[in-house]
Structures are given as C-alpha cells and as structure tokens.
Amino acid sequence: MAIRVLMPKLSFIVTEGTIIEWLKAPGDQVDKGEPLLSIESEKATVDVESPGAGILGPDLAPVGTTVPVTTTIGYILEPGEEPPKLELGLDEADHAPAAGPGQPVEEVVAAAREEEKPPKRRIIASPSAKRLAREAGVDLAEIEGSGPQGRIVKQDVLAYVDSQSQVVEGKSVQVSPAARRLATSLGVDPGEVEGTGPGGRVMVDDVRQAAGQAHAQGDLAQTPERAAGPPSEHVALTSIQRISAERMAFSFQTAPHFYLSVQVNMSQAVAMREAFLPAVEAKTGVRLSFSDILVCAVGQALHEHPALNAAFEEDQLKRYREVNVCLAVDTPRGLTVPVFHQADQLSLAEIAGRRADIVEKAKNSQLTPDDLSGGTFTVSNLGMFGIDIFSAIINPPQAAILAVGRIAKRALVVDETLQVRPTMWMTLSVDHRVADGATAARFLHTLVQYLEDPYRMLV
C-alpha cells in the first residue's frame, strides 16, 4: 500500500512549506527515517525523513512548490505497485479573452472595464505568488504561470510587474493591460496618467479621464512630474524572512505589548561560569556560555510563575504544562528559534550540550521539526553584538519574550558603596492580555534572583 509523503507541520504556527530539494530521485529505494527532501518554512530549512521504506514514486511535487502543511507531496510504493495520482489541491483557471481593438470609444471603455473586473474563475497560484500579487495590485488572471500545470509562482508575478512598468524620465508606472490597450486606442501616453489603482496603478477609468481632459483642453493634459526616488533594487526574501516579518507584524498589531527592564548584577554568574567551565567541557565537549545560564534560569523562573508560560489564542488563555524555552539564533537564511524542551528539568551541562547541537544544526539548515516545535517562551540575546538594552517583539502565540543585552562592567551601588561590577540589562516584553504588570514583575524578580545567586538553580 502506498505511503503518503506529507508536507510536515514544524510547529503549531506553521501553515505552509516550500520544497527546496528532493534528496532522492523517483524510483530510488528509500528506508524509513532516511532523509528524503529539504523544505523551508518560516522557522528554518530542514530535512524531512522518509515515513516508510519502499520505492519513491514517479510523481513528486516539484522543487519550489509551496503547499499547506499536511499536503501530500509524493508517495512511497511497494515494488510493482501502481502509483496514485498526486493531487496538490491547487486552484485552476483559464485566461479570459481581452476586448478587441477598433471599436467606438465607449465600447472600448466598457470592454476594458469588464476586462479589469475580478475573473469569475479560479487561479492556479502558489501562496507566495498570491500574497505578492495582492501587495502589487496585480490580477493573477493576467499572468502566465511557469510552474507545473501552468501554476503561477512568485517569479512569474515579479516578471509580470517588471514587464508592466513603463519608465518615464526615471519614474516607474504600473499600467493594467486593459488600460494600456485603451490608452493606445485613444492616443494617451499611460506614463503621463495619474493612477488611482493599488500602488498608483493606472486603470481604465484613469485613462478615460485623462483622455477627456486632453480633448477638453484641445491637447493631451500632462500630469506634474513626480520626483524620482533614489536608485534601488528589489531583494527577494527567504521564506523564513517573509513569514517571520508577517508574524512579527501580526504580533505587534494584535498583542498589547508592555515592557519591564531591570539591570542584573552578574558577578556571581560570571564566577560560577568560570568555576564550572572545566567540568562542563569535560562532560559535554562544549564550553558553558551565559546563554546556557540564562536558559536554565528562565526555565526555573517559569516553573515558579506559570502565568508567563502561556499563550493567548482565539480569545482564550492557554497555560502550557511543559516549560519549553526557545533561544533565538541568527543564521544565514534569517532568524530561527530552536527549542529547549522541558528546560526547567535540564542541568547546566545538558543545556550546554543541547545549545551547541541546535546552534550548529540551525546554521547548517539541519534542524528537525522536533527541534522547532512546542516553544512556550523565547529568549533573544544580542549581547554578543555589543547591544546594552533593547525591546523584542513577542513570538506569537507566546505570552512573553526576554531581550538580553551584553554583560559589561558598570558602576553599581553595592552595600552603600559605588563599585564597578559586571552587569546585564534585561527587558521583558509581555502580552497584556495574558498577564498584568505585577504578575510579570514577580516573574522578573525571581529571574533576577536566580541570576544574581545562580547556585540556587543547582539545588
């Protein structure tokens, strides 16, 4: 019986993935658990393991395809088994006919307006192509797809937008095909027409109005020149960057953030790290870092204050039963947040070993779905970049994120005297729907106690 290969759901917030590479070819023998393909989501680029043993079927979702999670993208077959037909569940459509030339003006205008109306049909397009078309104010029915079965992909939209741009003295003008044909019929230069469509796009009514003004004045009216912008280029976002941007914008727009900042005396934490370095390195082969101490302390504090180990989803408050701390990691493809599962139950040595493993996997795009799923709280540490203090945007649907700056020697009042001590600034961003200021302050107070007296974490 054929075994379905599914687009995996890397976490509860992932909705789609893009196929980057098939690691096996159709007809190859595969074993269960063997890396089968690489995919990219908003979290990371990961290898997907084969769900079973057998022969990889001939019909696979093409490289570059973006589909929702749990979509079947291929099959693993038994020898001699007839392969099922691969159905990606994508929308289908044909192109509508355009209005013909050589008609009276009013007929041409009416036909052009009809052409600009949303088509009464469905379109084959990837999610990223649909988003880009919506942002650019482009009708997907106007675009020829280069993907499988004529599917429109993001590159098709970009190419179409470029092809529809008319450059007039350094000014790029977007013109709908119907408006362009009408402008040709009426003798109007679309580059001199002010567009009222999405993104300043020139539409049919814009051309008609410009033509009417020109005839009323006895000459074609010209709109004032718009100042040309500075030289620029479009840079394509990776899936991680694009979806991360969407999620951060959603978080900042929907979650009422508030912030609490505190300076921590890290003298004891610095001393403990120096004392534990040889033992942890001998046990794990990696050096104990301050990020490890932070993850350990955050795990302990969340265990004592479960109100921050929560989420706000669909107008309901959710309290997590596990303390799974995410650590934001910078990678060449963008920011990703691997997870320390049950961080409140891990020793410093276990956290150090886990941290070294996931950071290396993140930088090499080798994180697994398990590495990325189930996070309940996030730590973002920019201290290594020399940042003193900053505020972070909550990683939805989590309730809070801790922004951590560098450890530096600063003046501090200790026992009524001014002394120079290693200190660190932390800023806690909290979703006010989940916790109030007093609840968040109690969590932060406990976290400071663990960092200023870190040996408490070992008891």
In this structure, of 26-40, 53-67, 162-176, 305-319, the range with the lowest mean pLDDT score is 162-176
Radius of gyration of the chain (CA): 29
At residue 287, the pLDDT reads: 93
pLDDT digits (tens, 9 = 90+) for 125-170: 776 777 777 666 677 777 888 876 677 877 787 777 666 554 444 4
Task: Using the predicted structure, report yes or no on whether residue 171 has a pLDDT greater than 60.
Answer: no
- Kindly indicate the confidence band of residue 339, based on its pLDDT and cuts at 50, 70 and 90: very high
Task: Using the predicted structure, report yes or no on whether residue 93 has a pLDDT greater than 80.
Answer: no
At residue 47, the pLDDT reads: 80
Catalytic residue status for 436: yes
Let me know if residue 88 belongs to a domain.
no
Residue 321, domain CATH: 3.30.559.10
Clarify whether residues 72 and 128 are in a common domain.
Answer: no
Residue 209, domain CATH: 4.10.320.10
Task: Using the predicted structure, report yes or no on whether residue 109 has a pLDDT greater than 80.
Answer: no
Let me know if residue 127 belongs to a domain.
yes
At residue 439, the pLDDT reads: 96
Clarify whether residues 245 and 331 are in a common domain.
Answer: yes
Task: Using the predicted structure, report yes or no on whether residue 256 has a pLDDT greater than 70.
Answer: yes
At residue 316, the pLDDT reads: 86
In this structure, of 29-38, 55-64, 328-337, the range with the lowest mean pLDDT score is 328-337
Q: Give the mean pLDDT of the chain.
A: 81
Cα–Cα distance measured from residue 384 to residue 36, given in angstroms and rounded to the nearest whole number: 36
Count of domains observed in the chain? 3
Clarify whether residues 288 and 403 are in a common domain.
Answer: yes
Residue 23, domain CATH: 2.40.50.100
Own/partner long-range contacts of 271-274 (Cβ < 8 Å, ≥24 apart): 272/454, 272/455
Task: Using the predicted structure, report yes or no on whether residue 95 has a pLDDT greater than 50.
Answer: no
Which string of b and e fits 117-128 if b means at least 16 CB within 10 Å? Answer: eeeeeebbbbeb
CA nearest 89: which of 111, 69, 113? 69
Task: Using the predicted structure, report yes or no on whether residue 188 has a pLDDT greater than 80.
Answer: no
Inter-residue contact 259 to 61 (CB < 8 Å): no
Task: Please tell me which residue in 257, 303, 341, 432 is annotated as part of the active site.
Answer: 432
Clarify whether residues 189 and 127 are in a common domain.
Answer: yes
> Which residue shows structure tokens 């200790």?
414
- Integer CA distances (angstroms), 61 to 19, 34, 91, 149, 348, in order: 8, 19, 15, 11, 43
- SS3 of 374-425: the string is CCCEEEEECHHHCCCCCCCCCCCCECEEEEEEEEEEEEEEECCEEEEEEEEE
Task: Please tell me which residue in 31, 436, 445, 453 is annotated as part of the active site.
Answer: 436
At residue 114, the pLDDT reads: 56
Among 77, 93, 114, the domain-final residue is 77
Clarify whether residues 195 and 324 are in a common domain.
Answer: no
Let me know if residue 175 belongs to a domain.
yes
Let me know if residue 226 belongs to a domain.
no
Task: Using the predicted structure, report yes or no on whether residue 217 has a pLDDT greater than 60.
Answer: no
At residue 48, the pLDDT reads: 85
Task: Using the predicted structure, report yes or no on whether residue 414 has a pLDDT greater than 80.
Answer: yes
At residue 97, the pLDDT reads: 37
Task: Using the predicted structure, report yes or no on whether residue 44 has a pLDDT greater than 70.
Answer: no
> Which residue shows structure tokens 């974490």?
457
Let me know if residue 96 belongs to a domain.
no
Residues 6+ apart with CB under 8 A from 415: none
At residue 117, the pLDDT reads: 53
Dihedral sign for Cα atoms in the order 412, 389, 399, 459: negative
Task: Using the predicted structure, report yes or no on whether residue 187 has a pLDDT greater than 90.
Answer: no
The residue-averaged pLDDT of 8-15 equals 68
Clarify whether residues 280 and 156 are in a common domain.
Answer: no
At residue 151, the pLDDT reads: 76
Clarify whether residues 183 and 277 are in a common domain.
Answer: no
Clarify whether residues 73 and 192 are in a common domain.
Answer: no
Helix (H, G, I), strand (E, B) or coil at 221: coil
Task: Using the predicted structure, report yes or no on whether residue 374 has a pLDDT greater than 80.
Answer: yes
- Kindly indicate the confidence band of residue 294, based on its pLDDT and cuts at 50, 70 and 90: very high
Clarify whether residues 154 and 18 are in a common domain.
Answer: no
Inter-residue contact 451 to 297 (CB < 8 Å): yes
Which residues is 67 bridged to in the sheet? 17
The residue-averaged pLDDT of 316-342 equals 88
Element (H, E) at 194: none
Among 217, 247, 273, the domain-final residue is 217
Instruction: For the chain, give the percent of residues with pLDDT over 70.
Output: 78
Does residue 106 or residue 434 have the better pLDDT?
434
Inter-residue contact 98 to 178 (CB < 8 Å): yes
- Domain with 31 in it: 3-77
Let me know if residue 230 belongs to a domain.
no
Clarify whether residues 298 and 447 are in a common domain.
Answer: yes
Q: End-to-end CA distance of the chain: give it in Å, rounded.
A: 54
Clarify whether residues 206 and 57 are in a common domain.
Answer: no
Clarify whether residues 203 and 244 are in a common domain.
Answer: no
Let me know if residue 222 belongs to a domain.
no
Task: Using the predicted structure, report yes or no on whether residue 417 has a pLDDT greater than 60.
Answer: yes
Let me know if residue 87 belongs to a domain.
no
Task: Using the predicted structure, report yes or no on whether residue 196 has a pLDDT greater than 80.
Answer: no
Inter-residue contact 71 to 89 (CB < 8 Å): yes
Among 184, 217, 250, the domain-final residue is 217
